[in-house]
Amino acid sequence: MLTLERISAAYGESQVLTGIDMTVGPAEAVTLLGRNGVGKTTLLRTIIGLQRTNHGRMLLGDDDVTDLRAHRRARLGIGYVPQGRGIFPHLTVEENLAMGSTALAGRSERSNGVLDRVLALFPTLGRLRARKGGVLSGGEQQQLAIGRALMGEPRLLLLDEPTEGIQPSIVQEIEAALSAIRRDFGVALLLVEQHLAFAWSIAERYYVMQRGAIVRTGRTRTEQPDDVAPLLSV
């Protein structure tokens, strides 16, 4: 599905990512861990094409996407839920979701079917479809951001801090939704997450970043959060 080979990226003279090797398999869930400022968001932005690489190669399946712009990566099947949700506050829920279907590029006849599946996954959005995005609660906005990304029918969904600022009851709903996205939509997940218990409930494998590099990887089923927690303060 996704293969990163020695990926590096910089902001001007400041090197942020150094030699990242990573894989995410079809319908697999992987979590990316690390303290704030180590390059996790930059890595997601590099994968979706919002940040250019200065070294390395990136494959999505058999397609080399290293030099493709973000809209072309989206059409090949990469979805992105940014930190802070990034919804359109002055558009309705339904209009926000419709914006996500632009990645379908000529497949608009399928968008209604995708919308039905998204609203079945997030029934709250169906009840609020005429409401402006900006008046939704944080948890409702997060569901909207995930639903909008799903409207593009991604094969791989990138999520940056999906539980940030979300009340516990909604976190449980998001956990259930992400499990259903893998099972029912067949979508692979790569999530940046600070809450280890949530990450362990979703992901099969983890990577730990420090100072723009991967320093450890392993499987959540054979290791405990306490095994990696000390690495997140470095």
The Cα 203–Cα 192 span in angstroms is 11
The answer to whether residue 100 is domain-embedded is no
Looking at the structure of the chain, the number of domains it has is 1
Is the Cβ–Cβ distance between 174 and 142 less than 8 Å? yes
Q: Give the DSSP H/E element, type plus range, for residue 22.
A: strand 14-24
* pLDDT for 5: 97
* Mean pLDDT across the chain: 92
DSSP state letters, 60-123: ETTEE-TT--HHHHHHHTEEEE-TT----TTSBHHHHHHHHGGGGSS-GGGHHHHHHHHHHH-H
In a domain, 132, yes or no: no
Q: Is residue 57 part of a domain?
A: yes
Express each pLDDT in 6-30 by its tens digit. Answer: 999 999 889 999 999 999 999 999 9
The answer to the question of residue 200 being in a domain is yes
Task: Encode pLDDT of 162-190 as tens digits.
Answer: 998 888 888 999 999 999 999 989 999 99
Rounded CA separation 36/40 (Å)? 8
Residue 97 forms part of a structural domain: no
Q: Supply the pTM of this predicted model.
A: 0.93
- Report if residue 37 sits inside a domain: yes
